[in-house]
Structure 1
Amino acid sequence: MHYAQITERLAHSGGAKWAIHQHCRTMKAQGADIIELTIGEPDLPPDPQLFEVCHQSMLAGRTGYSSGRGEPELLDAIAARYARRRADVDTDNVMCFPGTQTALFATMMALTGPGDGVLVGDPFYATYEGVIGASGAHRQPVPLRPENGFRMKAEDLEASITPQSRVLLLNSPHNPSGAVLRAEELARIGAVCKAHDLWIVADEVYEELVFDGEFASPFDNPDLADRVIALSSISKSHAAPGFRSGWAVGPHEFCDKLLPLSETMLFGNQPFIADMTAFALNSDLQTSKLMREAYKRRAALIADRLEQLDGIVPFRPQAGMFIIADVSGTGLDGERFAWRLLEAGVAVMPGSSFGDNAGGLIRLSLTVPDESLTEACNRIASFVESI
């Protein structure tokens, strides 16, 4: 039987990257004692008020069809959030989606097509390869170097641009490294993009999980207003990944162009979840503060311990819910290290899931209790001694 080319383009961009995580879940279901440090599933529950708002909204009958662009109250809340960063933003700059992943897929489908190039830092979040390849575009890696703290440099971006380049997919705070780009670095990156007429798609889902200092974004620069699209959600900021509530904020024309595509895909998200999201954005909840404190403490806990082990070099994150470490000094690459460590009772993600530039790395999640991380470090230490 015949299948569309998109199935071929995405054939190697899906579950294979999460094979260790899936195998870990199977082993745990069979009774194995494994500490799971693979995915960023917040261990802090959402604020109880979110459940109550969602519940009351459903009882009030907010279960019908939604606007394709987004529910009015949510559009107002998102526009107000970004207008505090750039005064020209209104609801016509906003599109709502069920999660950042859907927003990213729709945005890439709207901006790229067969033969187009998408510049993206390497290492990169595992699903980027798929959302780039879905439209027929191809990934153009920009090296994120350990000696630069895995922060993108304008000169590396410039060197990676070709005549096919159309978009820079920028992720700060960065997954998997936790690196945070500074305002001056973003200004130089923005100048390169402007000189080459590139879109900047800014995945900012970890915006509220910066440990120290201020979050900076290319969206905040008025000189880049016609080319920057900011994507985010409540998945990380409010510990609510399962609610699937995100958005894209960009130029008016972009949103008008994106609307028919969005309506073809899903025709709006659930009104009761939109009501909950609006409440979350309009309220001073403590969820992100509590997560910031916990993840910063846990990152230090892991880094302090791994720095004592021969052959392992941890990189302390500036934000987010992960820490990465170079394990190549053990004589194993990240893939072999991760699979063998799984046998020792700890599940981590191999760097190969995050790009060609991450083969010697592993990524560990910070979303388990401190005592579990301490035990995981003990098991890692025993494993490293054994090899």
Structure 2
Amino acid sequence: MRFASVTDRLAGLGADKWVLHQESRRRVGSGEDIIELTIGEPDTPAPQALIDAAIAGLHARRTRYTGGRGESVVVEAIAAKYAARTGRAVTAGNVAYMPGTQTALYAAMRVLAEAGDEVLVGDPLYATYEGVIRSSGADVAYVPLDPANGFHMRAADIEARITPRSRALLLNSPHNPTGATLSAAEIAEIVEVCRRHDLWIVSDEVYETMAYGAAFASPFDLPAGAERTVVVSSISKSHMLPGFRSGWCVGPVEFIDRLLPVSETMLFGAQPFIQDAAAKAIGAAFPECTEMVEVLARRAAIFPEALANAPGLRCAMPEGGMFAMVDVSGTGLDGEAFAWRLLDEERVAVMPGSSFGRQASGHVRVSLTAEAPMLREAASRMIRLAIRLSQGKAA
């Protein structure tokens, strides 16, 4: 039997990257006591007002079909958010509501790239980026992010990898998995490179509110970047509602006009009662969200401090997001081997860096979505393993 070539392009780019997480979940389900620090799922509860808004929408029978662009209440809330942020006119024509950032990324790539094209992306990169690029038929052009530079993307490194096939740059700041947060000056330099080479910028800003080591900056906010930038984001992280699958694309009117038929062919609308809650989330401030970011900023220091003198381990301070990257190469193991031994011997689950690209192969990614005492305990167990490795001892 024959299958579409997209299935070959995506082979190994889906759940295969999360094998260790799935194994950890299986062991927890079997009764093992494991500290799970694998996925970026906020551990603090969402604002009750947003849960109530979704429930009220259900009680009001807000369960009918909706338009492909989204309900006016949420589209207008999104437009108002970006108009206030940029200081320029952003209207409903610049907005398309999407069920989550992942869907927004997929649809954006289908609009901007195709077979024969290349999309530039930093390495390390979020685990699904290769898939959303390859799903369009385009090839991935990796821009190495140097740990010595705090994994910050450099404009010169982008320019060095641009070819006649380059069509877009997929940008993420604050960055998953490294926590790197690009400055306004760095963003401006990247925009200038993309302008000179007529590249689109797809800016994944799901961690916008979680920039605690440096101020958040976006290419969409710059006049030179506005005409070529597509923002994708959601309330999954900012409002602790990953299961709502509630996100959006914001960009030039022509881009949105071309996006809508792609989006509507995929799923034609999203749940109106969730859109009601999203509109409320976007249009107001919630102390629970502010507190979550403050908690993450405090947790971010735990691993850099705890591992400072550990043999073979290094951890830089994250500047945003909800992860820390630990360099384990000094133990003699790569991130994959270290992560599996940490799970088997110390009952701590973290993500192998190889799930996030070649540049991260000597690292593991640690999620900060657990209370501080649990994170400190995980760091202690990590150190125990590192000591055994340094002494050449088996488990």
TM-score normalised by the chain length of structure 2: 0.97
Deviations 1:174-203 (A, max 9, x none): 000101100111111100000000000000
Native 8 Å contact 1:83 1:89 kept in 2: yes
How far residue 356 of structure 1 moved from its aligned partner, in angstroms, is 1.1
**What residue identity is the alignment partner of 1:353?**
S
SS of the equivalent of 2:85 reads coil
Native 8 Å contact 1:231 1:247 kept in 2: yes
Native 8 Å contact 2:169 2:202 kept in 1: yes
Worse-matched range after superposition: 103-112 or 370-379: 370-379
**What residue identity is the alignment partner of 1:44?**
T
Deviations 1:183-241 (A, max 9, x none): 11111110000000000000000000111442110000112221100110000000000
Deviations 1:240-291 (A, max 9, x none): 0000000000000000001111110010110000000001111111233112
1:35 matched residue in structure 2:
35
**What residue identity is the alignment partner of 1:23?**
E
2:229 matched residue in structure 1:
228
Deviations 1:310-359 (A, max 9, x none): 11110110101000011000000001000111112100001100011111
1:117 matched residue in structure 2:
118
Q: 1:1-387, aligned counterparts within 5 Å?
A: 1-86=1-86, 87-343=88-344, 344-387=346-389
Native 8 Å contact 1:334 1:350 kept in 2: yes
SS of the equivalent of 1:319 reads coil
| 2-structure distance, mates of 1:171, 1:317 | 14
| 2-structure distance, mates of 1:241, 1:289 | 17
| 1-structure distance, mates of 2:115, 2:89 | 33
**What residue identity is the alignment partner of 2:369?**
T
Native 8 Å contact 1:237 1:287 kept in 2: no
| 1-structure distance, mates of 2:293, 2:304 | 16
Native 8 Å contact 1:132 1:138 kept in 2: yes
Worse-matched range after superposition: 135-144 or 294-303: 294-303
How far residue 30 of structure 1 moved from its aligned partner, in angstroms, is 1.1
**What residue identity is the alignment partner of 1:223?**
A
Native 8 Å contact 1:179 1:318 kept in 2: yes
| 2-structure distance, mates of 1:283, 1:226 | 28
SS of the equivalent of 1:6 reads helix
Native 8 Å contact 2:181 2:213 kept in 1: no
Worse-matched range after superposition: 367-376 or 238-247: 367-376
Native 8 Å contact 2:68 2:264 kept in 1: yes
| 2-structure distance, mates of 1:236, 1:280 | 12
Deviations 1:17-48 (A, max 9, x none): 10100000111111112100100110001101
| 2-structure distance, mates of 1:25, 1:112 | 36
**What residue identity is the alignment partner of 2:241?**
A
How far residue 307 of structure 1 moved from its aligned partner, in angstroms, is 1.3
SS of the equivalent of 1:8 reads helix
How far residue 69 of structure 1 moved from its aligned partner, in angstroms, is 0.4
| 2-structure distance, mates of 1:232, 1:246 | 6
How far residue 147 of structure 1 moved from its aligned partner, in angstroms, is 1.3
Native 8 Å contact 1:177 1:315 kept in 2: no
| 2-structure distance, mates of 1:303, 1:167 | 34
SS of the equivalent of 2:350 reads strand
**What residue identity is the alignment partner of 1:378?**
S
Worse-matched range after superposition: 191-200 or 376-385: 376-385
| 1-structure distance, mates of 2:294, 2:139 | 38
Native 8 Å contact 1:239 1:287 kept in 2: no
Native 8 Å contact 1:119 1:169 kept in 2: yes
**What residue identity is the alignment partner of 2:48?**
P
TM-score normalised by the chain length of structure 1: 0.99
SS of the equivalent of 1:84 reads helix
| 2-structure distance, mates of 1:385, 1:162 | 46
| 2-structure distance, mates of 1:30, 1:59 | 38
2:392 matched residue in structure 1:
none
Worse-matched range after superposition: 367-376 or 242-251: 367-376
| 1-structure distance, mates of 2:95, 2:163 | 30
Worse-matched range after superposition: 171-180 or 284-293: 284-293
CA RMSD for the aligned pairs?
0.8
How far residue 306 of structure 1 moved from its aligned partner, in angstroms, is 1.1
Q: Label 1:38 to 1:163 Cα distance change in 2 as closer, same or farther (>3 A).
A: same
